[in-house]
Amino acid sequence: MFDILSRNPDSLAPAVAVPDSAPQAQTNAIASRKADVMVPIRSLGENHRGRIASHLKALDAHDRYYRFGFAANDEQIDRYVTGLDFERDEIFGIYNRNLVLIAVAHLAYAPDTGANPSAEFGVSVLAQARGRHYGTRLFERAMMHARNVGVSRLYVHVLSENTAMLKIASHAGATFVRDGAETEGHLVLLPATLNSHLTELVEEHLAQANYQIKLQARQIRNTFSSLQSAWRGTDKAETRE
């Protein structure tokens, strides 16, 4: 499940222009679907830039086409990642037990928000991690964060054939306008509440703790592997003697 952040192959900076003709969706009670299993989604910062690039480069040509609107090459992906502004936008990620970034979402804020602040959502999920609703979880997380920072409108720009992303946004209450090969989804967000702020705070702390646990587990595995290699080396040396 993928989304477009930019449709210009020469510049991969997120495109978050809000057209004047965008339809006004009715305000709906947007309730995040409760996950059967808690998925740790954490905010990503400057120190994750390299892993974000590795994640995007792991996408095949078809997946890159869905993500960017064209089959971006590695050099274009590097330029996109270099241009990420972690101070302005919000980047979310899901790590597996080996600390491989298997899903990434980009919540890009419109530079000229005016009276109705808006943002655009983009997401990518590695092929081996599909079917676990990670795209939906990331969309829900982005919606909650957008509400909490005062965003009133959330947009998705997707290829019209990207039925997975259209389904995710549709279930959240988005309305759509199709323009040939592309479709724009428009979602009106409810104002933030005390519960939405507390929920995001708790989820972020849990995700940070989960990441540290995975990091420590990997360090233990690496240490054990090194010890095993040393033992095998010692055994071979004794055998030769």
Q: Phi and psi dihedrals of 219, rounded to 5?
A: -65, -40
| Banded pLDDT at 240 (limits 50, 70, 90) | low
**Given this model, what pLDDT does residue 38 score?**
79
Q: Which residue has the higher pLDDT, 205 or 37?
A: 205
pLDDT tens digits for 172-228?
Answer: 999 999 988 999 999 999 999 999 999 999 999 998 888 888 888 878 877 877 777
Judged against a pLDDT cut of 70, whether residue 33 lies above it is answered with no
pLDDT tens digits for 82-96?
Answer: 999 999 999 999 999
Mean confidence (pLDDT) of the chain: 82
**Given this model, what pLDDT does residue 113 score?**
59
Average pLDDT over residues 121-147: 95
- CA angle (172 as vertex; 3, 24 as ends), nearest 5: 85
Q: Is the dihedral of CA 79, 81, 87, 90 positive or negative?
A: positive
Tokens representing 170? 């549709």
Average pLDDT over residues 155-163: 92
3-state secondary structure of 17: coil
Average pLDDT over residues 35-59: 90
The pTM (predicted TM-score) of the whole model is: 0.77
DSSP β-ladder status, 90-95 and 153-159: unpaired
Q: Are 73 and 12 in contact (CB under 8 A)?
A: no
Q: Are 81 and 51 in contact (CB under 8 A)?
A: no
Q: Are 76 and 65 in contact (CB under 8 A)?
A: no
Judged against a pLDDT cut of 90, whether residue 77 lies above it is answered with yes
Q: Are 191 and 147 in contact (CB under 8 A)?
A: yes
**Given this model, what pLDDT does residue 35 score?**
42
DSSP β-ladder status, 153-159 and 118-125: parallel
**Given this model, what pLDDT does residue 15 score?**
34
